[in-house]
Structure 1
Amino acid sequence: MLIRPARAEDVPAIVAMLADDPLGAAREQPGDPRYDEAYAEIAADPRQLLVVAEVDDEVVGTLQLTLTPGLSRLGATRATIEGVRVHSAHRGSGLGQALIEWAVREAGDRGAIMVQLTTDVSRKDAHRFYERLGFVASHIGMKLPL
């Protein structure tokens, strides 16, 4: 398995993985040109790392790591992991764990003092997965659609 920065040509495979579950199927629209625009913005921002995992030259996993400087915690940088997906044919193979471990190492290498992540309240399997990797449910997240 190879973890590498995502390229523009990876966007359709990434979006397909984002759409490949009940939540994603309801909110993603594969083929929409807004994904290409979003990719360009992410790729231009040095504090955003969108990566893919490849197996046999096929994109089979992805995540986005965001580095956020802040004043709290003595001016610390936090890292946020979002959009973690593994292709359905590769779930249970250890690929998701490898992606998360890569993100945690990368965050530390870039000076972050903590890694946080978001996961939908309905994703119980994901909660168990993240807890097994040492993450602790410490906050309540809220959203306001605009």
Structure 2
Amino acid sequence: MACSSALFIEDAGAHDLTLNLGWPAEHGLARFTKALSDPDRLMMVAEDGDQIIGHLTGSLSGPSLMRPLLVATLGSIYVQPAYRGQKIGVNLVEEFKAWARRHGAQYAGVTAYAGNEGAVRFYERNGFAMRSVVLETSL
């Protein structure tokens, strides 16, 4: 849960004031535990000894009438700052893509905050390209 909490604080805390930054502590364990038994979900951790230093979550959806193919979505990825630059994130993404291909996915996507330029560059270096933009406003 520490990696999920850190991701929320570091990423959403800086880029999305509408998110409940306490969500991982309040609901994460139940959600992640449920995901472990779902064959359409991927939950991976990166470890250094017995310490979790990163994670990646993914899911499969489709096909649907609108998008008639199986889609893999990279839900979240996080590597603790002290371990960045060591290809841990790259390896997690490669494992995600391999998992998606093994399950028959033909397309993979990920959402990143536009203001998180480092995340956008990371995804682009790992084969993702910007295809759409979501615009929001406060009411």
Amino acid at match of 2:7: L
**Equivalent residue, structure 1, for 2:125:** 132
Contact residue 3 and residue 79 of structure 2 kept, 8 A: no
Alpha-carbon RMSD:
2.6
**Equivalent residue, structure 2, for 1:98:** 91
- Structure 1 residues 117 and 143: alpha-carbon distance in aligned structure 2, compared to 1, 3 A threshold: farther
Runs in 1 of length 4+ with deviation above 6 angstroms?
none
Say if 2:11 is the partner of 1:54.
Answer: no
Gaps of 5+ in 1: 1-11
More strand per residue: 1
- TM-score, normalization by structure 2: 0.82
Gaps of 5+ in 2: none
**Equivalent residue, structure 1, for 2:112:** 119
**Equivalent residue, structure 2, for 1:40:** 33
Contact residue 48 and residue 66 of structure 1 kept, 8 A: yes
**Equivalent residue, structure 1, for 2:5:** 16
| Count of aligned pairs between the two proteins | 134
Identity %: 26
- TM-score, normalization by structure 1: 0.78
Whole-Å Cα distance in 2 between the matches of residues 100 and 76 of structure 1? 21
